[in-house]
Amino acid sequence: MHEQAYQAVRRMLTPEFMDGVVTVLDIGGRDVNSGGRVHGLLVNRGARRIDVLDVRPGPGVTIVADIETWVPVGRWDLVITTETMEHVKDWARIIRSAAAVAPRLVGTCAGPGRPPHGCNGETPVPPGEHYGNVHPVHVIQELAARYPRYGVTFEVDPLPIGNDSTNDVQFWASTTQRRKP
Protein backbone atom coordinates (compact mmCIF):
# COMPACT_ATOMS: atom_id res chain seq x y z
CA MET A 1 0.00 0.00 0.00
CA HIS A 2 1.38 3.37 -0.92
CA GLU A 3 1.74 6.14 1.66
CA GLN A 4 -1.16 8.27 0.36
CA ALA A 5 -3.60 5.37 0.82
CA TYR A 6 -2.26 4.56 4.30
CA GLN A 7 -2.59 8.17 5.42
CA ALA A 8 -6.18 8.30 4.12
CA VAL A 9 -7.07 5.17 6.10
CA ARG A 10 -5.36 6.60 9.19
CA ARG A 11 -7.46 9.80 8.88
CA MET A 12 -10.72 7.87 8.45
CA LEU A 13 -10.19 5.51 11.39
CA THR A 14 -10.85 8.18 14.00
CA PRO A 15 -11.47 7.16 17.62
CA GLU A 16 -15.12 8.19 17.18
CA PHE A 17 -15.55 6.08 14.04
CA MET A 18 -13.78 3.13 15.67
CA ASP A 19 -15.84 3.34 18.88
CA GLY A 20 -17.13 -0.17 19.55
CA VAL A 21 -15.14 -1.82 16.75
CA VAL A 22 -13.80 -5.14 17.97
CA THR A 23 -14.02 -7.33 14.87
CA VAL A 24 -12.77 -6.38 11.40
CA LEU A 25 -12.97 -8.06 8.01
CA ASP A 26 -10.21 -6.95 5.63
CA ILE A 27 -11.31 -7.73 2.06
CA GLY A 28 -8.31 -8.21 -0.21
CA GLY A 29 -5.99 -7.76 2.75
CA ARG A 30 -3.23 -10.26 1.98
CA ASP A 31 -0.13 -8.37 3.06
CA VAL A 32 1.73 -7.65 -0.15
CA ASN A 33 3.74 -4.57 0.70
CA SER A 34 2.38 -2.79 3.79
CA GLY A 35 4.20 -4.70 6.50
CA GLY A 36 0.96 -4.91 8.51
CA ARG A 37 0.68 -1.15 9.05
CA VAL A 38 -3.10 -1.01 8.63
CA HIS A 39 -3.69 -3.97 10.93
CA GLY A 40 -1.41 -2.39 13.54
CA LEU A 41 -3.43 0.80 13.27
CA LEU A 42 -6.69 -1.13 13.68
CA VAL A 43 -5.39 -2.90 16.79
CA ASN A 44 -4.16 0.41 18.23
CA ARG A 45 -7.66 1.79 17.70
CA GLY A 46 -9.41 -1.10 19.50
CA ALA A 47 -9.80 -4.01 17.06
CA ARG A 48 -9.30 -7.37 18.74
CA ARG A 49 -9.89 -9.73 15.81
CA ILE A 50 -9.00 -9.11 12.17
CA ASP A 51 -10.09 -11.63 9.57
CA VAL A 52 -8.52 -11.32 6.13
CA LEU A 53 -10.37 -12.45 3.02
CA ASP A 54 -8.25 -12.82 -0.10
CA VAL A 55 -8.35 -14.84 -3.30
CA ARG A 56 -4.84 -16.15 -2.55
CA PRO A 57 -3.39 -17.62 0.63
CA GLY A 58 -0.66 -15.56 2.23
CA PRO A 59 0.44 -13.68 5.31
CA GLY A 60 -2.50 -13.14 7.65
CA VAL A 61 -5.16 -14.58 5.30
CA THR A 62 -7.87 -16.38 7.31
CA ILE A 63 -10.51 -16.75 4.55
CA VAL A 64 -9.32 -17.86 1.10
CA ALA A 65 -12.14 -16.95 -1.28
CA ASP A 66 -12.92 -14.94 -4.39
CA ILE A 67 -15.04 -11.94 -3.37
CA GLU A 68 -17.00 -12.26 -6.61
CA THR A 69 -18.37 -15.66 -5.53
CA TRP A 70 -17.99 -15.51 -1.74
CA VAL A 71 -21.17 -16.04 0.25
CA PRO A 72 -20.84 -13.91 3.39
CA VAL A 73 -21.10 -15.84 6.63
CA GLY A 74 -20.80 -14.03 9.94
CA ARG A 75 -20.82 -10.42 11.11
CA TRP A 76 -18.07 -7.94 11.78
CA ASP A 77 -18.04 -4.41 13.23
CA LEU A 78 -16.07 -2.97 10.33
CA VAL A 79 -15.02 -3.93 6.82
CA ILE A 80 -11.86 -2.42 5.41
CA THR A 81 -10.65 -2.76 1.84
CA THR A 82 -7.56 -1.00 0.59
CA GLU A 83 -6.27 -0.93 -2.96
CA THR A 84 -8.35 -3.99 -3.92
CA MET A 85 -11.40 -2.86 -5.86
CA GLU A 86 -9.47 -2.02 -9.03
CA HIS A 87 -8.38 -5.67 -9.19
CA VAL A 88 -11.94 -7.06 -9.07
CA LYS A 89 -14.12 -7.08 -12.20
CA ASP A 90 -17.31 -6.68 -10.18
CA TRP A 91 -15.74 -4.28 -7.66
CA ALA A 92 -19.19 -3.20 -6.43
CA ARG A 93 -19.53 -6.70 -4.98
CA ILE A 94 -17.06 -5.61 -2.30
CA ILE A 95 -19.40 -2.81 -1.18
CA ARG A 96 -22.45 -5.08 -1.35
CA SER A 97 -20.69 -7.76 0.70
CA ALA A 98 -19.45 -5.19 3.22
CA ALA A 99 -22.98 -3.83 3.70
CA ALA A 100 -24.24 -7.38 4.30
CA VAL A 101 -21.76 -8.17 7.08
CA ALA A 102 -20.85 -4.90 8.86
CA PRO A 103 -22.34 -1.53 9.80
CA ARG A 104 -19.15 0.34 8.86
CA LEU A 105 -16.83 0.39 5.84
CA VAL A 106 -13.53 2.14 5.10
CA GLY A 107 -11.64 1.81 1.84
CA THR A 108 -9.37 3.11 -0.86
CA CYS A 109 -9.01 2.18 -4.51
CA ALA A 110 -7.31 3.36 -7.67
CA GLY A 111 -9.23 6.12 -9.40
CA PRO A 112 -9.12 7.53 -12.92
CA GLY A 113 -5.59 8.31 -14.04
CA ARG A 114 -3.79 5.65 -11.98
CA PRO A 115 -1.58 3.53 -14.25
CA PRO A 116 -2.48 -0.17 -14.45
CA HIS A 117 -0.67 -2.51 -12.06
CA GLY A 118 -0.97 -6.08 -10.87
CA CYS A 119 -2.17 -7.26 -7.47
CA ASN A 120 1.41 -7.26 -6.23
CA GLY A 121 2.13 -3.84 -7.75
CA GLU A 122 3.92 -5.10 -10.83
CA THR A 123 3.61 -3.63 -14.31
CA PRO A 124 2.34 -4.64 -16.72
CA VAL A 125 -0.69 -6.38 -15.24
CA PRO A 126 0.08 -10.12 -15.30
CA PRO A 127 -2.00 -12.37 -17.57
CA GLY A 128 -5.14 -13.59 -15.84
CA GLU A 129 -5.40 -10.60 -13.49
CA HIS A 130 -8.01 -7.87 -13.85
CA TYR A 131 -7.33 -4.15 -13.58
CA GLY A 132 -9.74 -1.25 -13.97
CA ASN A 133 -9.70 2.16 -12.32
CA VAL A 134 -12.82 2.90 -10.29
CA HIS A 135 -14.63 6.19 -10.79
CA PRO A 136 -15.57 8.06 -7.59
CA VAL A 137 -19.09 8.76 -8.89
CA HIS A 138 -19.70 5.01 -9.19
CA VAL A 139 -18.43 4.49 -5.63
CA ILE A 140 -20.85 7.19 -4.43
CA GLN A 141 -23.73 5.45 -6.21
CA GLU A 142 -22.93 2.09 -4.61
CA LEU A 143 -22.48 3.56 -1.12
CA ALA A 144 -25.65 5.68 -1.36
CA ALA A 145 -27.70 2.58 -2.24
CA ARG A 146 -26.57 0.78 0.93
CA TYR A 147 -25.49 3.23 3.64
CA PRO A 148 -27.33 6.26 5.06
CA ARG A 149 -24.03 8.01 5.90
CA TYR A 150 -20.94 8.04 3.69
CA GLY A 151 -18.12 10.18 2.39
CA VAL A 152 -15.96 9.95 -0.72
CA THR A 153 -12.80 11.82 -1.64
CA PHE A 154 -10.89 11.69 -4.91
CA GLU A 155 -7.28 12.64 -4.28
CA VAL A 156 -5.32 13.43 -7.42
CA ASP A 157 -1.55 13.22 -7.45
CA PRO A 158 -0.52 16.74 -8.56
CA LEU A 159 2.96 15.73 -9.77
CA PRO A 160 2.96 12.12 -10.95
CA ILE A 161 6.41 10.82 -11.73
CA GLY A 162 6.50 8.24 -14.48
CA ASN A 163 4.22 5.36 -13.56
CA ASP A 164 3.86 6.43 -9.91
CA SER A 165 0.57 8.36 -10.00
CA THR A 166 -1.45 7.68 -6.85
CA ASN A 167 -4.89 8.96 -7.85
CA ASP A 168 -7.02 7.50 -5.07
CA VAL A 169 -10.68 7.16 -4.30
CA GLN A 170 -11.03 7.15 -0.51
CA PHE A 171 -14.33 6.35 1.20
CA TRP A 172 -16.10 5.56 4.44
CA ALA A 173 -19.67 4.51 5.13
CA SER A 174 -21.80 3.77 8.16
CA THR A 175 -25.29 2.57 9.05
CA THR A 176 -24.81 3.80 12.62
CA GLN A 177 -25.18 7.28 14.02
CA ARG A 178 -21.52 7.54 14.95
CA ARG A 179 -19.76 10.72 13.96
CA LYS A 180 -18.15 10.71 10.54
CA PRO A 181 -14.38 10.28 10.32
Task: For residues 163 and 156, give the distance between their C-alpha atoms in angstroms, rounded to a whole number.
Answer: 14
Three-state DSSP state, 113 = coil
pLDDT of residue 177: 62
- Entry pTM: 0.93
Query: What pLDDT was estimated at residue 35?
Result: 58
Report d(CA 29, CA 56) in Å as an integer.
Answer: 10
Domain ranges of the chain: 3-174
DSSP line for 69-134: T----S--SEEEEES-GGG-TTTHHHHHHHHHH-SEEEEEEE-TTPPP--TTS-SSPPTT------
CATH of region 3-174, choose from 3.40.50.1980, 3.40.50.150, 3.30.70.3270, 3.40.718.10: 3.40.50.150
| pLDDT tens, position by position, 39-57 | 999 999 999 999 999 999 9
Residues of the chain with pLDDT under 50: none
